[in-house]
Amino acid sequence: MRLTEKERGVIKRAVLNIVKNMFLTINCGSSSVRAALFSLDSSGKLSRLWEKHLPSHDLESLLSFLPEHPTTIGHRVVHGGARFRQTTQITEEILHFLTTLSPLAPLHNTYSLKGIEVAKRLFPKASHFAVFDTAFYAGFPQHVALYPIPFEIARKHEIRRYGFHGISHAYLWRRYLEMSGRKGGRVLSLHLGSGCSITATVDGIPIDTTMGFTPLEGVMMGTRSGSIDPSLVPYIATKEGISAEKIISLLNEQSGLLGISGLTGDMQTLLKEKTPMAELAIEMFLHSLIKAIGSLFALLGSIDALLFSGGIGENSPEIRKRLVEKLPWLSVSLDEEANQTASCLSPGTGREISTSSSITKIFAIASDENLAIAEEIS
C-alpha cells in the first residue's frame, strides 16, 4: 500500500520528534561510570532505551555501545560551588570555572570533567548540561550552611556546607512518596556506597546532611575518612614529613574501610573476610552511621522512614540488619525475609523491608540518578 503525502509527512514528523527528544545521561562516580539513553514521547514521558555501567571510567568504550546519537546530554557534576544552584548549560566559560572546583571533590569532579570532554568530542552538536549534586542543598539557611569560623573568611572564600549526593537523595524522597502513598513526612535517606552520606528531609526539603564543604566530611566511607579532628592534618604532616595536599589525598583515597582493614574499601569483600581488622572496619563504619543518624534524628524530632540506597545500602542485607539492631530508639523492626531478598535491585526499584508493626518504616531503594538527570534536562 502506497502512503499519501500527508501520511508520509506525519511519519516524518514523528521520526524527527523521536530524534529531537533523545537524552543521554552520564554519571561519573568515584569508582565507576554509568550512562543511560532516554527518549521523550509526545505525552512528555521519558522511556529508558539503553543503560550501561562500567566499574571504571572508560567512558569512550562505554559510549561505543550507544545505539543512537543524543541531542541533549546531562552530566552529573558533584560540586557546583556557590555559583551553581541549578542545572546549567555547559559553555567553555562554565567548563573552565568547573575545573577550579576539582580540588573540592577530587574523586568526582575530575572524572566528571573528563566525561564532559569525551562527550563533547563525540557529540559536538549536542547540548550539554551540568546537573549538580549540591543544588539540592542550595537553600540551606545560614545557621545550617556556615561553619563556626570567622565570618569574613567564610564569605570571602565561599566556605560553607554544600552537601552532596543531592541528586540521589532528592530522587529517594520522591520514590518514597510513590512507594508509601504518603504526601509528605520526615525521612532519613542513607546513600551508602563508595561514598556515604545521610540526609534529613522534611516534606521534600533537606534540613541537614552529613557531607559539607567537600564530600570528605561526614560518616566513614570506602576510602574516605569522613569527619576527623582537623588538627590531625598538621600533626600528620609534621610526624610523617608530608604536605597537607598529600594528607588530603590520604584521607580521600587511603582511609575509611580500606585504611582500617588494610585490605579493601569494598564492604561485600570485608563481610566475607571475617578477619579482626575487617570486622573492626565494619564496626567503626556502623558506629559512625549511628552517631550521624542520632544527630539528624534530634533535628527531625520524629521520623517516618529510613531509606537505604547506594551499593552498600541496596545490596547488603547484613549491614542493614546490623545497623537497624543498633537503633531501637527509632522504633524500627526489620522483616528478616524481606531484608534478605531485597538486594541487587535494578535502578528505580525497591521494597519495604520493615514489619507491619514497625513504627518507623524501612525501605531499600535503588536510586535512579540517571532518570533524575534526564528529568532535569528534558
Q: What's the pLDDT tens digit per position in 292-343?
A: 999 999 999 999 999 999 999 999 999 999 999 999 999 999 999 999 999 8
Intrachain domains 5-138 and 182-370 with the same fold: yes
Q: Name the 3-class secondary structure at 129.
A: strand
More confident residue, 297 or 42: 297
Beta carbons within 10 angstroms of residue 133's beta carbon = 28
Mean pLDDT of 227-251: 95
* 116-122, long-range: CB < 8 A, 24+ apart: 116/26, 116/75, 116/90, 118/59, 118/60, 118/63, 119/24, 119/26, 119/59, 119/63, 119/73, 119/75, 120/90, 122/60, 122/63
Confidence of residue 105 (pLDDT cuts 50, 70, 90): confident
Mean pLDDT of 343-348: 85
Domain boundaries, the chain: 5-138, 182-370
The domain 5-138 is placed in CATH, from the list 3.30.300.20, 3.30.70.2660, 1.10.1660.10, 3.30.420.40, at 3.30.420.40
Least confident of 72-86, 149-163, 201-215, 295-309: 72-86
Output the nine-digit C-alpha cell for 260: 582500617
Known catalytic residues? 133
Identify the pLDDT of residue 198: 98
pTM tops 0.85, yes or no:
yes
Give the rounded percent of residues in the chain with a pLDDT score beyond 70: 93
Confidence of residue 2 (pLDDT cuts 50, 70, 90): low
Helices (H), 181-275: 232-240, 244-253, 256-261, 267-273
Superfamily the domain 182-370 falls into: ATPase, nucleotide binding domain (3.30.420.40)
Q: What is the chain's mean pLDDT, rounded?
A: 91
Identify the pLDDT of residue 163: 96
Nearest to 370 by CA among 99, 74, 10: 74
Residue 60 scores a pLDDT above 90: no
**Whole-number Å distance between alpha carbons of 197 and 165:** 7
